[in-house]
Structure 1
Amino acid sequence: MFVDSVDSDIAPSGTLLGLLQRGRGDGTLHALAAPRAEALAALRHCVLRDPRRDWQIEHRSLYYARLHTELEAGLDDIEAHLFHPDDLVLTEGAEERTGLALSVLGHLVSYGDDDALRLLRRYAVAGANWQWALDELAVRDDDDGLRALGPSLLARFAPTPEGDAALGEAARDAFEPRPWRLWAEDPAHPEQAERLRLLQERGNFDRWQRQLHTQGPRPGWSVREVLAWAEEDTARPAGPHREAAAARCLAAVAGPDDRPELLAAARGGPDACRAAALRHLAERDDPDVLDLLQAAATHPGSGYDGAPLPPLAASALASFARMRGAAALDRARRWAAHREDALGLVAAQLLATRGGPCDADAVLAALRRTVREQGPDGDDLWPLVDGVGRLAVQCAAPVLRHVYRETASSQLRGRTARALAATDPAFPAGFAVECLWDCEESTRELAAEHATTGDARVVERLRRLAVDPAEQAGVQSAVRGRLSPDAGTPG
Structure 2
Amino acid sequence: MFEPDIAPSATLLGLLQRGRGDGTLHALAAERPDALAALDACVVRDPRHDWQVENRSLYYARLYSELEGPLDGIDAHLFHPDDGIDTDENRTGLALSVLGHLAAYGRRDALDLLRRYTVHGSNWAWALDELALRDDDASLLRLAPAVLDRFPAGPEGDAALRAAVRDAYEPRPWRLWAATHPRIAAAGEQAPFDLWQRQLGRSTAAPGWGAAEVLAWADRAAEEDRSGSPHDAVQRRAAAAARCLAAVAGPDDRPLLLNAARNGAEGARRAALRHLVDRDDPAVPGLIELCAADPDGRIVDAALDVLGRMRGPAAMDHARRWADPATGGADSALGEAAARLLACAGDERDAPLVADALRRWIAGYGADGDGLGCLVDGAGRLRATAAVPALRYVYAETVSSQLRGRAAHALAATDACFPAGPAVECLWDCEETTRELAARHVATTGDVRVLERLRRLAADPAEEAEVHAAVRGRLIAGDRVR
TM-superposed deviation, 1:310: 2.3
3-state SS of paired residue (1:484) = helix
1:182 aligns with 2:176: yes
Q: Deviations over 1:390-426 (max 9, x none)?
A: 1111121111111111111111111001111111111
1:214 aligns with 2:202: yes
1:26 aligns with 2:18: no
- 1:356 aligns with 347
> Percent identity over the alignment?
63
1:367 touches 1:385 (CA, 8 Å); kept in 2? yes
CA distance in 1, matches of 2:322, 2:480: 49
- 2:8 aligns with 12
1:105 aligns with 2:99: yes
CA distance in 2, matches of 1:294, 1:198: 60
Unmatched segments (≥5 aa) in structure 1: 1-6, 301-308
- 1:203 aligns with 191
CA distance in 2, matches of 1:437, 1:212: 48
Q: 5 Å matches for 1:304-319?
A: 310-319=297-306
1:234 touches 1:272 (CA, 8 Å); kept in 2? no
Q: 5 Å matches for 1:47-446?
A: 47-91=43-87, 93=88, 95-184=89-178, 186=179, 189=180, 192=181, 194-235=182-223, 238-239=229-230, 240-241=233-234, 242-299=237-294, 310-337=297-324, 338=327, 339=329, 340-446=331-437
1:465 aligns with 2:457: yes
Q: Deviations over 1:291-339 (max 9, x none)?
A: 1122112256xxxxxxxx8222212211110122222111111111131
| Coordinate RMSD, CA, aligned | 1.7
3-state SS of paired residue (1:139) = helix
CA distance in 2, matches of 1:27, 1:205: 48
Cα 1:172/1:312, change in 2 over 3 Å: farther
CA distance in 2, matches of 1:207, 1:129: 23
CA distance in 2, matches of 1:24, 1:104: 17
1:481 touches 1:487 (CA, 8 Å); kept in 2? no
2:352 touches 2:386 (CA, 8 Å); kept in 1? no
Q: Which moved more, 1:206-215 or 1:216-225?
A: 206-215
3-state SS of paired residue (1:264) = helix
- 1:304 aligns with none
Letter aligned with residue 464 of structure 1: R
CA distance in 2, matches of 1:8, 1:73: 24
CA distance in 2, matches of 1:279, 1:379: 21
1:453 touches 1:489 (CA, 8 Å); kept in 2? no
TM-score, normalised with respect to structure 2: 0.94
2:165 touches 2:191 (CA, 8 Å); kept in 1? no
Q: Deviations over 1:1-34 (max 9, x none)?
A: xxxxxx8711111111111111110111011111
Letter aligned with residue 359 of structure 1: D
CA distance in 1, matches of 2:198, 2:46: 39
Letter aligned with residue 21 of structure 1: Q
3-state SS of paired residue (1:427) = coil
Q: Which moved more, 1:226-235 or 1:19-28?
A: 226-235
2:322 touches 2:334 (CA, 8 Å); kept in 1? yes
Higher RCO structure, 1 or 2 (CA under 8 Å, sep 6+): 1
CA distance in 2, matches of 1:216, 1:480: 52
CA distance in 2, matches of 1:477, 1:284: 43
Q: Deviations over 1:75-111 (max 9, x none)?
A: 11111110111101224x2x22111111110000111
Cα 1:206/1:65, change in 2 over 3 Å: closer
Cα 1:391/1:484, change in 2 over 3 Å: same
Letter aligned with residue 394 of structure 2: V
TM-score, normalised with respect to structure 1: 0.92
TM-superposed deviation, 1:487: 6.7
Candidates 469, 478, 481, aligned match of 1:477: 469
Unmatched segments (≥5 aa) in structure 2: none
TM-superposed deviation, 1:380: 1.5
Letter aligned with residue 147 of structure 1: L
Letter aligned with residue 273 of structure 1: A
Letter aligned with residue 73 of structure 1: G
Letter aligned with residue 289 of structure 1: V
